[in-house]
Structure 1
Amino acid sequence: MNGAVRSAMLATVAILSTGATSEMTAAQFLAAMNKAESLGPAALMSSDVRALRAESDRVLTLYRSDIAKQAKAGGPRHSCPPPKGEGKMKGEELKNYLTKLPAAKQKQPFRTALYDFMKQKYPCK
């Protein structure tokens, strides 16, 4: 698969779309990303990709809400991302992070892994 299509697909998978109620582990999310990547451009129509979008949207919504609450409270914040719409998280970055997690950490909820990724990517200074 060419790099541009792959990057666009991974970014689409990793970032937003619809809501969901399931709680995937980091390993499950990574496995689904790998499966979607293997489908090529057809992945964009896959129910697996819709599930990934839903999970990433749900977790990013929780993350943004938590960061906003921390900022409003005036105390220390978990991480300091740019305002919504100004920062770009690439699916490939997230995939690389999840791939490098030790097996024990891959069993944690995807939510925990994403929060840790965001803390690493956007530390407060």
Structure 2
Amino acid sequence: MSFVRTVVASLVLVGVAVPADAAMTVQTFLSRANALRDQGPMALMSPDLPVLKAEAKQATTQLRSEGAARAAAGKKPIACVPDGEKIGIMDMLDGLAALPASVQKRPLKDGYAQVLAKRFPC
């Protein structure tokens, strides 16, 4: 199980630039992440790994940017993550998988936002 966590955790550690219009849906991200999990050690060689890492990185960057913009505009944050607190990749994947099908059709960033808002409400 620790190998699976290592592989899945690596999805968010390193990213490659991806065009903004290439946003992946939550459903697609989960499907591809689960396929990687099923590959076991071979997942490290998969061409999907850098793609998923880039998507996770892009979604995180977009959320941070939106959070800063909301703060600058005096708007309430989407989530209130306590200092030093973060959500683990397995918890994030579980949270994404628990989202309704209608939300899973939306961009990954939107799914991340909902998981964070549920885990760290304001």
Give the TM-score normalised by the residue count of structure 1: 0.83
Match of 1:100 in 2: 98
Matched residues in 1 for 2:53 and 2:80: separation? 23
Q: Specify whether residues 79 and 111 from structure 1 end up closer, same or farther in structure 2 by C-alpha distance, changes over 3 A only.
A: same
With 5-14 and 57-66 compared, the bigger mean Cα shift is at 5-14
1:57 corresponds to? 57
Question: In percent, how many aligned pairs have the same letter?
Answer: 29
2-structure distance, mates of 1:38, 1:91: 16
For 1:19, the equivalent position in structure 2 comes to 17
User: Counterparts of 1:32 and 1:45 in 2: how far apart (Å)?
Assistant: 14
Report if the CA contact (8 A) 1:15-1:57 is conserved.
yes
Q: CA deviation at 1:103?
A: 2.1
Give, in angstroms, the shift of residue 88 of structure 1. Answer: 3.3
Partners of 1:28 and 1:44 in 2: how far apart? 19
Q: 1:88 to 1:41 in 2, by over 3 A?
A: farther
How far the C-alpha of 1:92 sits from its partner, in A, is 1.1
Worse-superposed segment, 48-57 or 113-122: 113-122
Q: TM-score, normalised by structure 2?
A: 0.85
Deviations 1:59-118 (A, max 9, x none): 1001011111222333311112345xx333322112211222222222112121111111
Aligned pairs for 1:1-125 (under 5 A) are 3-21=1-19, 22-82=22-82, 86-124=84-122
Confirm or deny: 8 A CA contact 2:12 2:54 kept in the other structure: no
The CA RMSD measured in Å over matched residues stands at 1.8
Task: Give the 4+ runs in structure 1 shifted more than 6 A.
Answer: none
Change (3 A) 1:16 1:67: farther
